[in-house]
Amino acid sequence: MLPVVTSPACDLLLTNAVVLTMDGQYTIHRPGAVAITGDSIAAVGPAALACQAAETIDCGGRVVMPGFVNAHTHVPMTLLRGLADDLRLDVWLMGYMMPVERAFVSPDFVRLGTRLGCAEMIRSGVTCFADMYYFEDAIAEATAAAGMRALCGQTVLRFPTPDATSFEESLTLAREFIQRWHGHPLIVPGPAPHAPYTCTPEILRACAELALEFDVPLHIHLSETAQEVDDSRKQHGAPVVPWVKKHGLFEAKVLAAHCVHVDDGEMRALKNANAGVAHNPTSNLKLGAGVAPVTRMLELGVNVGIGTDGAASNNDLDMFEETRLAALLAKGTSGDPTAIPARTALAMATRIGAAAMHLGDVTGSLEPGKRADLIVLDLDRLHNVPAFGHAGDGIYSRIVYASKSTDVVDVMCNGRWLMRNRALLTLDEDELRQAAGREASRVDVFLASREVSVLQKLVAVGGAVELESFEVQVKARVAAEEQVLAVVGGKQLTVIRSSHYHQYDTYWSFDDPDQGWLRYREDEFLDAQGNVTGARSRLTLTGRSREEAFGAVLLSRSRYYAPATHSARFYREYFRPAGERTVEKDRRRWLVAYRGVEFYVHLDRLVKPARGGYFVEVKSRTWSRRDARDKAAVIADLLALFGTSPDDTLSDGYADLAG
Ligand SMILES: [Zn+2]
């Protein structure tokens, strides 16, 4: 009697394929098969062929490989694609992205953006991505509905976000989000402290503890720009990686995006912490951040995946392009064409990327027991023929250097088809295109209204901006400082307090003179010996039209103040003024009482331009026209004491003197 051989059963058998498993041995089955049962891979290669399948699909010699893993993105930002390009990171982020996000990002916005991003990613063969954004709950819902796998990071920042008014609130949101999605078959939830420079040590620690409590990954941006590292050294006395380590970040399973500016010690620290890194070559190039030392990180054993970053800084979510660029950049920056060969690049985009996301047990390669996340790829396109068979590894270079995302034919995630024969099965492309267009029109209207006025642009980035109360003020030239000093030191005035500082003023003018002047002022406070004891920066927007003048004494123009939280360079690039003038001066300032009225007296010595000489400025707050008229009369007398008279040509500050 013959023994009865019972073949294992499976739901689906993919046959007649070139199966790139992307496992640790880079096993290729040619021709090969993949057996799928439920959401998982039952068998690969000859073992799969032995399965009794409910359904068999002949792949016609096409490639079957793991779906691409996009290790870092902000998927709803597809709706901000092309909004602002060719800008420096801070201007792009603080000047455009964050203000628009504050105004527009809502659960509906992120849901639409996520569906658009998922459609684009499925089309290009991505089955799994790592996200970081706001309203992550809506993103997780839309992703799960589209059938994709994702690590969804709920953003935590130290300042208000579109979904939270404080960091305590965003931490609570992150906790509730993780509780709700923990254990979901497609969604892995986690906290996403945005970056060390937008968080505090307390936030980093709280996020790490949250991730530990639920045993979920933590997603963060680390060491993206040289500026970030310089600032970290200045503020914390250490580069970024040791500083976050000190605050407990690496207690958690970390996925760190960028790591462009990390030294050897920091790379070892990442390895020792088993932190994954997401390399985002297009985003880093486009924002001028640099090129991450990927070859060295891989040598040290760090799991380095590849990511597209958000569509606002890329501007697409095409992993074929990123993978090719990762391979090319490593060669171009090292002068070594053997750096990051195609096979390694493709592993970074699949298995290693999944490991970087701490999802290596679940996805990233075609191995029994892992989820069935795979794509079918057509290499028989015009841009990819002929094919050489003499070297087994040739298939990797065909995919990395010649394939395009449009060569993806079928996509399966978690055992479910998301695209068959290039038709999306879970999303409606036409509907998404139209809805995205409507959203862009709304953002256009918002930005157009902001761009018409310097004040509106200032409000958009300045935080609290206030209209100062009216003041009477006058400026005058003085031949020498002695007479002013004598009066201030004499008996006619009472000095209430005094200070001394060095001022660096940058005045910006605009094509439309009605916009007035924008002044960026850096004050250095000086002690009696002339040593710098402190500094501050402020922005002042001075309107052009004078309210009213009493002789040469001016009831002031509208003035708007904002604390200058960015550099002069930031504001220059953000406001794009038509003209710029700089003035440097030494200022002594007294609050005095004269004839029962309090005035500020400034005695200025212009350092630059050197031809400037000495000036005195007298000003006082005022409440009514009548009060202003009375004070104007007193100011005129005070100036006479100083031996001078008002000079109306100085009324635009010192901008007109500067060259
Ligand atoms: Zn990012």
pLDDT digits (tens, 9 = 90+) for 195-222: 999 999 999 999 999 999 999 999 999 9
What percent of the chain stands above pLDDT 90?
Answer: 67
Q: d(Cα 301, Cα 231) in Å, to the nearest integer? A: 28
The pair of three-digit structure tokens given for residue 631, joined into one six-digit string: 């004070």
Query: How far is ligand 1, taken at its centre, from the CA of residue 543, in Å?
Result: 38
The mean per-residue pLDDT over the stretch 262-278 comes to: 98
In contact, 218 and 208? CB cutoff 8 Å:
yes
Query: How far is ligand 1, taken at its centre, from the CA of residue 257, in Å?
Result: 7
Query: How far is ligand 1, taken at its centre, from the CA of residue 637, in Å?
Result: 61
Query: How far is ligand 1, taken at its centre, from the CA of residue 357, in Å?
Result: 14
Query: How far is ligand 1, taken at its centre, from the CA of residue 420, in Å?
Result: 31
Q: d(Cα 558, Cα 455) in Å, to the nearest integer? A: 11
In contact, 165 and 208? CB cutoff 8 Å:
no
In contact, 192 and 150? CB cutoff 8 Å:
no
Query: How far is ligand 1, taken at its centre, from the CA of residue 18, in Å?
Result: 34
Binned at pLDDT 50, 70 and 90, residue 233 comes out as very high
pLDDT at 628 exceeding the cut of 70: yes
Predicted confidence at residue 180, as pLDDT, reads 98
Q: d(Cα 415, Cα 147) in Å, to the nearest integer? A: 10
Predicted confidence at residue 546, as pLDDT, reads 55
Query: How far is ligand 1, taken at its centre, from the CA of residue 256, in Å?
Result: 10
The pair of three-digit structure tokens given for residue 80, joined into one six-digit string: 């901000």
pLDDT digits (tens, 9 = 90+) for 547-579: 555 555 555 556 677 778 888 898 899 889 999
Question: Phi/psi zone of residue 156: left (φ > 0), alpha (ψ -120 to 50 degrees), beta?
Answer: beta
Predicted confidence at residue 549, as pLDDT, reads 59
Query: How far is ligand 1, taken at its centre, from the CA of residue 12, in Å?
Result: 37
Query: How far is ligand 1, taken at its centre, from the CA of residue 72, in Å?
Result: 6
Query: How far is ligand 1, taken at its centre, from the CA of residue 85, in Å?
Result: 15
Query: How far is ligand 1, taken at its centre, from the CA of residue 222, in Å?
Result: 10
Distances (CA, A) of 219 to 29, 130, 156, 222, 255: 35, 8, 10, 10, 5
Query: How far is ligand 1, taken at its centre, from the CA of residue 351, in Å?
Result: 21
Binned at pLDDT 50, 70 and 90, residue 627 comes out as confident
263-290 b/e (C-beta count within 10 Å ≥ 16 → b): eeebbbbbbebebbbbbbbbbbebbebb
Predicted confidence at residue 651, as pLDDT, reads 56
pLDDT digits (tens, 9 = 90+) for 127-154: 999 999 999 999 999 999 999 999 999 9
The mean per-residue pLDDT over the stretch 79-106 comes to: 88
Query: How far is ligand 1, taken at its centre, from the CA of residue 223, in Å?
Result: 11
Query: How far is ligand 1, taken at its centre, from the CA of residue 20, in Å?
Result: 30
Query: How far is ligand 1, taken at its centre, from the CA of residue 405, in Å?
Result: 22
Q: Angle at Cα 27 formed by Cα 26 and Cα 30, nearest 5°?
A: 130
Query: How far is ligand 1, taken at its centre, from the CA of residue 74, in Å?
Result: 6
Query: How far is ligand 1, taken at its centre, from the CA of residue 66, in Å?
Result: 24
Query: How far is ligand 1, taken at its centre, from the CA of residue 77, in Å?
Result: 10
Query: How far is ligand 1, taken at its centre, from the CA of residue 94, in Å?
Result: 14
Average predicted confidence (pLDDT) for the chain: 91
The mean per-residue pLDDT over the stretch 414-426 comes to: 98
Which residue has better confidence, 468 or 512? Answer: 512
Predicted confidence at residue 553, as pLDDT, reads 58
Query: How far is ligand 1, taken at its centre, from the CA of residue 204, in Å?
Result: 17
Query: How far is ligand 1, taken at its centre, from the CA of residue 191, in Å?
Result: 14
Query: How far is ligand 1, taken at its centre, from the CA of residue 221, in Å?
Result: 6
Query: How far is ligand 1, taken at its centre, from the CA of residue 309, in Å?
Result: 5
Query: How far is ligand 1, taken at its centre, from the CA of residue 216, in Å?
Result: 19
- One-letter amino acid of 184: H
Predicted confidence at residue 659, as pLDDT, reads 43
Query: How far is ligand 1, taken at its centre, from the CA of residue 310, in Å?
Result: 6
Q: d(Cα 282, Cα 298) in Å, to the nearest integer? A: 19
Question: Phi/psi zone of residue 132: left (φ > 0), alpha (ψ -120 to 50 degrees), beta?
Answer: beta
pLDDT at 481 exceeding the cut of 70: yes
Map residue 44 onto helix, strand or coil: strand
Predicted confidence at residue 528, as pLDDT, reads 86
The mean per-residue pLDDT over the stretch 411-434 comes to: 98
